[in-house]
Each structure stands twice: as structure tokens, then as C-alpha cells.
Amino acid sequence: MHFYEESCPHAEEIVKEIIWNRVACNSTLPAKFLRMHFHDCFVRGCDASVLIDSTANNLAEKAAIPNLSLAGFDIIDEVKTELEKTCPGVVSCADIVALAARDSVSYQFQRPIWDVLTGRRDGIISRKSEALANIPSPFFNFTTLKQSFANKSLSVHDLVVLSGGHTIGVGLCNFFSNRLYNFTGNNDEDPSLNSTYAAFLKTQCKSLSNNVTTVPMDPGSPLSFDNNYFKILKQNEGLFQSDAALLTDSEATYNVNELLNSQKFFTEFAQSIMRMGAIQVLTGTSGEIRKNCSVVNP
């Protein structure tokens, strides 16, 4: 806590002010920053490697399919520019991403809803192939999901709690339309999907190949960070196969049931996302403090 207290005392304030101003004008941003933080941490740890641009001789994480729909990079750059003016070369891009996730989601409550430890340093490697290999897929079953989180020292409990992040944001049709039209390869629907909900989704996603249309992951309150995700999950209205998968395991289902309590969800989310924000962090003399978040220092 308070890593920048002496080196850049207003750092966290500057981040919060810019993020809150942006979220006030665009309520879709919290979901985008939360996802950016998640996609960053699952590849090489929370080192801002997701922000690095591809070059002539390297395809970076940004080029991987799960990251093509990431957004908000311009706002991270805006924050970085402001911090470089105030205290050059001090605040890492990795910390900015972690703070932006917390501050954007917290805007709704007008107070921070989890603590962010700071002091991460920035990575200098970003590879498209590593993003594909490490970011959990919406098509994963429970066994694969559990392993994917275990690889990052996160438990089944963390997996279920962090899946609650799907209470905000949208999903592209092509990441779940197989559940509507061709679940086992026989032009069939996923039997674990609520049939009324499936009928609605078919009105939005009219074909298997639609990769343009988006649907809210939590149709009841898509812009509100709450525990509604777990309520719809219990009604078999989880959008992705990876959501529905949580009900196929007894330990995970137990956790889902606990998180139907709103207070429990907020308490647990704060702890699990702090654990996620500590995956393989670079500290001390490892990595660097990037001057420009999208480029490794020369």
C-alpha cells in the first residue's frame, strides 16, 4: 500500500480523477478496464505486457484473438502522460492498469471497493502466442478452467468469484453462438442453457458466424457492478460455456450459492482480485518503468 507515497504522492489521485471523469461520460469503461487487468495478469503476470504494440518483428499480446476486442488503451495513455508530467519515470504502466480497473468499477460507489497494492514494474516481453495459451477461453469446460486458474495459483473459489466480473460488460455472438445453433456438431442447442433465454439470444445472434453483435453478459443490470451474475447463473442464463461450467462442479456450485449474498460477493471479490493483481509481479530491479505504455524503453 502507498508505494508512491514519497516518490509520487499524488499518483493514485491523478489516476482516479482521470478514470472517474472518463467513466462519468462512458459507463461501458469499467468492464473494459476490468477485462484489461485480467488479460494482463494472466499472461506473464501483471506487468502491462498487454499494452505493448506489435512491431515489424514481433506480434504482441494485443494481436491475439482474445485481446482484439480490448479497449481503453487511449485512456491508459492519457493517465500515463499526466503522471510523466508530474513525476517522470516513477509510476509503472502495470500499476496504472491495476488502479484503472479498481477506480473504474468503484466509480459507481464513489469509493474504492478493493485495495490495490502498488509497486509492480513493467515487463519488456509481449507475445501473441502466450496470450492465446494463457487467457481462459469462453469455450472452456470446468476442468480446463480450474487448471487455467491453478496455473496462476488461483483456487476454484477465486475462479468463481472472479467470474462475477461478468456482471458488467458484453459478449460477442461468436463466443457463444455454438450454444444456440451447433453445440455438439448436430445443429443442436446447449441443453444446459435456459430455453427462453436461448430464444432471446437467437433474436440477437442470427448466425453462428456473427462476430459483430454484442449481448450484455448480465442482461438485468449490464452496467451495474453487483452479484446479479450469480442469480442469472442459477437460472441457467450464464452467457458463455465457461459460465455454465461453474454449475457442473460441486465445489464451484457451493461457491456460486454463497455469492448469492451481495455482501459476501463484495468481500470475496475484493480479496480474489487482489490475489489476481499479485500474479507473477515484477518488483525491485526486475523489468522497467516504461516511459510510454505501448513501447518498451529503448
166 annotated among ligand-binding-site residues = yes
Quick one: how many helices (H) and strands (E) in the chain? 13, 2
Hey, which bits of the chain come out as E strands?
170-172, 214-216
The alpha carbon torsion through 262, 145, 40, 17 (nearest 10 deg) reads -10
167 annotated among ligand-binding-site residues = yes
40 annotated among ligand-binding-site residues = yes
10 a catalytic residue = no
Beta-carbon neighbour count of residue 220 at 10 Å? 13
116 annotated among ligand-binding-site residues = no
143 annotated among ligand-binding-site residues = no
Query: What is the Cα gyration radius of the chain?
Result: 19
Side chain identity, residue 202: K
295 annotated among ligand-binding-site residues = no
45 annotated among ligand-binding-site residues = yes
Q: Provide the H-helix boundaries in 127-211.
A: 128-134, 142-150, 156-163, 178-181, 195-204
Taken in order 176, 179, 183, 185, is the CA torsion positive or negative? negative
Question: 284 near 92, Cβ under 8 Å?
Answer: no
Tell me which of 2, 10, 37, 39 is the catalytic residue.
39
Q: Give the whole-angstrom CA distance, residue 73 versus residue 286.
A: 24
37 annotated among ligand-binding-site residues = no
The alpha carbon torsion through 231, 233, 236, 237 (nearest 10 deg) reads 90
- The C-alpha cell of 8 is what? 509520487
Q: Give the whole-angstrom CA distance, residue 2 versus residue 8.
A: 10
222 annotated among ligand-binding-site residues = no
Q: What is the DSSP string of 215-284?
A: EESSTTSTTS-SSHHHHHHHTT--SSHHHHGGGGSHHHHHHHHHTTSHHHHHHHHHHHHHHHTTTT-B-T
10 annotated among ligand-binding-site residues = no
137 annotated among ligand-binding-site residues = no
Q: Which of 161, 135, 153 is nearest to 246 (CA)?
A: 161
Q: Which residue numbers are catalytic? A: 39
Known binding positions for heme b? 166
Known binding positions? 40, 43, 45, 47, 49, 61, 136, 166-167, 218, 226
Known binding positions for substrate? 136
